[in-house]
Structure 1
Amino acid sequence: MTATARKAVLYRMVMPEHICPYGLKSKWQLERHGYAVEDHWLRTREETEAFKAQHGVKTTPQTFIDGERVGGNDDLTRYFGGHVLSPDKTSYRSIIALFSMTALIALAASVAAFGTAFTEQASMWFISLWMCVLAILKLQDIERFSTMFLNYDLLARRWVPYAYLYPFGEALAGVLMTAGVLRWLAVPIALAMGGIGAVSVVKAVYINKRTLKCACVGGSSNVPLGFVSLIENLMMVAMAIWMTVK
């Protein structure tokens, strides 16, 4: 679709106390695709409500192209062929981002400490830092995490406090492993948590064939429970074994 020299009409909230971020995104999208934007500001709540009632819509911003209403920012994204992720749809995006950034941090630390990125220590730091980052995400909302965790973890379902203790145990083991201290404490924690977690995932996903979301990146996760969750737990076990051997 050729957008050059075409005109779009945009209605968005611009108030002293609030400038709608989706309105800014819609304006940016339109300009990026070559549209001249007739930008109408809705400056009060009353004006906004009157606009919504007039056009029979529930939200703003609203974009009109060639006299036809396109809709809100998500609708505009789809209009231009973009993808809008459904809040309920599972995705590995968050895990990929975490995996990539944790790996880069571990490599950067290795360069700082040893002058080269690819070292045995970098591999160890990758796993331990991964554990720390995942613990941070769980601790942001421990109630939501524990609720999701109770859907599948075998120990938590028998002893509910474990669902609350898990992020703290993961954080403690990750910090100790990163520092390389108190291995007598870090290794058993990682072995127990990783082992129980791996068995729980196998039972829930591969034996009982349940479709669940993983609590690994916190209670608001859209990551499907399965291979990634199993790998996370096996990495903890592998790290514990590696530290025992070393």
Structure 2
Amino acid sequence: MTSAAPRKAVLYRMVMPSHVCPYGLKSKWQLERHGYEVEDHWLRTRHETDAFMAEHVVKTTPQTFIGGERIGGNDDLTRFFGGHIPAKDETSYRPVVAVFAMTLLMAMAASTAAYGTPLTGRAAAWFVSLSMCVLAILKLQDVARFSTMFLNYDLLARRWVPYAYLYPFGEALAGVLMTADALPWLSIPVALVIGGIGAVSVFKAVYLDKRELKCACVGGSSNVPLGFVSLTENLFMVGMALWMLLR
């Protein structure tokens, strides 16, 4: 019994001394992963690349051909194999899931190192405080962009614009101090203020005013929809502050 002949694909991609196209590498990997034998053509100069694009009336490389039919670039190839390419303004909770999953694992790792078990009350507290730290890092990457998005819904920032710039620093300060269990006289009121105002602002914008906005919780360039996740972030801060106050 003879085995089936391998499926074949033709790939044109830029491989130059100073630049190897990452999308070309991805396309080659996708094709091989799906069982295709790749006829790999390298476009070694800018002149070769421009000539290829002019010949095939395309604006980008790489370009994949299967069975004589042009599939297109790497995104087109992903769609060809049934994958999803997000639209430009498509919302997603993936950034928040990534943050909370990692901070949970970090908290459990710290608890294991300190107490020999990942499941402790301290791990729960670290999960909240480390989440605050990581979310603050994302905001601090571009405070100006964060502040612009934040001003869409935060009640205090709309009345006093500098608060939109100070918020990430306050969240970072409270998160670091709560992780260290230090200076509770400072961390508790900071977390209560920014978390309380944030929770009220999100609740009003989403559940009372019914506005569809993007959340600034993971920075000013995120496509996370404003709603339950942002409300949870702020309630976590308030809950952590109250727990530290009452313990």
**TM > 0.5 between the two?**
yes
2:106 equivalent in structure 1? 105
Letter in 2 for 1:195: G
Question: In structure 2, what is the equivalent of residue 21 of structure 1?
Answer: 22
Corresponding residue for residue 9 of structure 1: 10
Aligned ranges 1:39-118 → 2 under 5 Å? 39-118=40-119
In the TM superposition, residue 4 of structure 1 has moved relative to its aligned partner by: 5.9
C-alpha distance in 1 between matches for 2:233 and 2:29: 39
- Post-superposition Cα deviations, 1:51-89, rounded to whole Å, max 9, x if no partner, equal 112111111100000000000101101111112222310
Match of 2:129 in 1: 128
Distance in 1 between residues matched to 2:178 and 2:47, nearest whole Å: 57
Q: How does 1:132-147 map to 2 (within 5 A)?
A: 132-147=133-148
Q: Distance in 1 between matches of 2:34 and 2:110?
A: 41
4+ aligned runs moved over 3 Å, structure 1: none
Whether 1:201 and 2:186 are equivalent positions in the alignment is no
1:83 aligned counterpart, secondary structure: coil
Separation in 1, partners of 2:215, 2:47: 43
Residue matched to 2:39:
38
Which residue identity is paired with 2:123? A
**In the alignment, what sits opposite 1:228?**
229
**SS of equivalent residue, structure 1 residue 14:** strand
Contact 1:4 1:34 in 2 (8 A): no
Task: Give TM-score scaled by structure 2 length.
Answer: 0.97
TM-score (norm 1): 0.97
SS of aligned partner of 2:10: strand
Please list the CA deviations of residues 166-213 of structure 1 after superposition, one character each: whole Å capped at 9, or x if unmatched: 000000000000010110000000000000000110111111111111
Listed one character per residue, the Cα deviations across residues 9-52 of structure 1 (whole Å, up to 9, x for unaligned) are: 10101011110000000001111111111111111112212211
The code of the aligned residue for 1:18 comes to H
**Mapped contact 1:191–1:237 kept (Cα < 8 A):** yes
Which residue number in structure 2 is paired with residue 172 of structure 1?
Answer: 173
Equivalent residue number for residue 242 of structure 1: 243
Partner secondary structure for residue 63 of structure 1: strand
Task: Quote the RMSD (CA, aligned, Å).
Answer: 1.0
How far apart, CA to CA, are the structure 2 residues paired with 1:147 and 1:49? 40
Supply the distance in 1 between the matched residues of 2:209 and 2:155 (Cα, whole angstroms).
13
More displaced 10-residue stretch of structure 1: 45-54 or 230-239: 45-54
Residue-pair matches, total: 244
Identity %: 77
Residue type matched to 1:100 in 2?
A
Alignment-derived partner of residue 210 in structure 1: 211
Q: Which amino acid letter does the alignment assign opposite residue 145 of structure 2?
A: R
Q: 1:66 corresponds to which letter in structure 2?
A: G
Q: What residue in structure 1 maps to residue 182 of structure 2?
A: 181
Q: CA deviation at 1:145?
A: 0.7
Task: Return the letter of the residue paired with 1:42.
Answer: L
Opposite residue 199 of structure 1, the aligned amino acid is: V
SS at match of 1:69: strand
Opposite residue 25 of structure 1, the aligned amino acid is K
Unpaired runs of at least 5, structure 1? none
**Which residue in 2 is equivalent to 1:150?**
151
Q: Secondary structure at the match of 1:192?
A: helix
The alignment partner of 2:65 has SS state of: strand
Asked if the contact 1:13–1:48 (Cα under 8 Å) also holds between the matched residues in 2, the reply is: yes
* 3-state SS, counterpart of residue 64 of structure 1: strand
SS in 2 for 1:91: coil
